[in-house]
Structure 1
Amino acid sequence: MRLIAAAAVLLPALLIGLLTVPADAASVRLDGVTVRLRPGTSQVVTANRTHGYHARVTLWVREHGRWTKRFSTSDGRIGYGGLSRSTQRHQGDGTTPAGTFDLPFAFGTHHRRPGWDMAYHRIRSGDYWVGDNSSRFYNKLRNKAAGGFRWWLPESDDNGSERLLAHRSQYEYAFATGFNAEQVRHRGFAIFLHVNGRGATAGCVSAPRSFLQMLYRRLSPQHHPVIAIGA
């Protein structure tokens, strides 16, 4: 009887989030968020704004033509300014850009560990994400020793860059996103997926530390992972 009861509980749980879509589909809606699929994408992180700066963050995996929910947290966060259209966002407005963005690599404070398949950068002293609108390295990872941007400007300045080790707890585990890969000046920089801080973000998506650790173990470049943000 216990086995039958357990099966009755597990079966609905396994079916939740199952969605079959054509193999050549250009987009899919997962948890109410429209995902613009890349060729070969079979891993998607969705961030669905629920209220205020709160969001539900979920990992989806496509297997045998079906999208299946694998992990989800209701304790996700977005920017204090809410959501904005990615093409209308302005640097410093505190909004999180809506849309689908690549997850090109991970970065953090730990040495690389077995089982982390994504490209990985361990943060070192002097690493910044460039917010200097006059720099050709705008919205790029750059060490101050390499020069090419005004790293000495305070982060609060209109051209200030983000010193990564100043946010050690949030960036213990983090992923860069493809937002503003075109380096459009004043649109914004340093939009990441990272560990929760105390409240809203300044435009990133954040989730509990355990959720980021799980993504480190699960995401792989072979699956062309993306993050889709919406409501």
Structure 2
Amino acid sequence: MALLSAVGVALGAPAAPGSAATPPAASPAPGVPLPAAMADTGGGTQLITARARTLGATTGTVNWWQRHNGRWRQLGSAPARFGAGGLAEGRSRVQGTKTTPTGLYDLPFAFGTASAPPGTTAPYRRVGADSWWCEDNASTSYNRWVAPLPPDCAAHESERLAGYPTQYSRALVIGFNYHRPVRGRGAGIFLHVNGKGATAGCVSVPARTMARILSWVRPSAHPHIAIGTTSGPTAVTRY
């Protein structure tokens, strides 16, 4: 499937996508940067977009963008993997479906079993043997990093982060259901390093890409990630 604990305006839930009566959203016209066609980019000057062709897709593309003098410029692109169950609208996603939630989210902080790459300015937590992500709906620590695991958070309902040394060598927490958690919607959604295949609901990228993104992200730029499809009601441009 844990940058920036004070990231400016924090989005606990994605903006609502267009209604069924709205014409299908599509990719921007040639020459128009994707962020310029979006309904919202989070208000900052750094943006990551993660797009799949359809909700059922398990692969797609991650791009990262910088805004300077009012214009967005793409700085990089890489292949991405999504949940084994595809993607799902973030507002109605159900925990345990292995779907990646669509929407626009902040990036609360970074973490990893490896050290932060050179140039990292985001808050970065090193994973230890007792570092967990609590995903127990009954716990007061639901959808939170905990160390050690608290008594009210069942281990079988949570992730021991050190147990995924490849995927969690470096990662960013995606602010899905994070700031005002709704039980049953989902927990532990990250941007992390690729494993062997599709994820359990996160977005994953090659290790080199993850290191580049972490070195690039700046808390002062209020970075966000927009996850969605290339067209339709869950198009990235709708969020």
TM over 0.5: yes
CA contact (8 A) 1:28 1:36 kept: no
d(CA) in 1 for partners of 2:99 and 2:184?
13
- Aligned AA (1:108): G
Structure with greater contact order relative to length (CA < 8 Å, sep ≥ 6): 2
Helix, strand or coil at the partner of 1:212 = helix
- Map of 2:215 onto structure 1: 217
d(CA) in 1 for partners of 2:227 and 2:213?
17
Instruction: Give the greater-gyration-radius structure (CA).
Output: 1
The question of 1:196 aligning with 2:194 is answered: yes
- Aligned AA (2:147): N
Offset at 1:216?
1.3
Q: 1:48 to 1:108 in 2, by over 3 A?
A: same
- Map of 1:3 onto structure 2: none
Offset at 1:122?
0.4
Question: How many residues are matched?
Answer: 197
Q: 1:98 to 1:35 in 2, by over 3 A?
A: farther
d(CA) in 2 for partners of 1:148 and 1:177?
24
d(CA) in 2 for partners of 1:99 and 1:69?
20
CA contact (8 A) 1:102 1:178 kept: yes
Aligned mate of 2:120, from 111, 116, 120:
116
- Please, what TM-score do these two structures have when normalized by structure 1? 0.80
> Which ranges in structure 1 are unaligned for 5 or more consecutive residues?
1-15, 21-26, 154-159
> Which ranges in structure 2 are unaligned for 5 or more consecutive residues?
1-29, 230-239
Offset at 1:144?
2.5
d(CA) in 2 for partners of 1:223 and 1:37?
12
- Aligned AA (1:224): H
d(CA) in 1 for partners of 2:120 and 2:31?
26
CA contact (8 A) 2:117 2:214 kept: no
Offset at 1:146?
4.8
d(CA) in 1 for partners of 2:83 and 2:149?
31
d(CA) in 2 for partners of 1:148 and 1:220?
35
**Seq. identity, %:** 40
d(CA) in 2 for partners of 1:136 and 1:103?
21
Offset at 1:148?
3.9
d(CA) in 2 for partners of 1:141 and 1:183?
13
Aligned mate of 1:161, from 139, 158, 162:
158
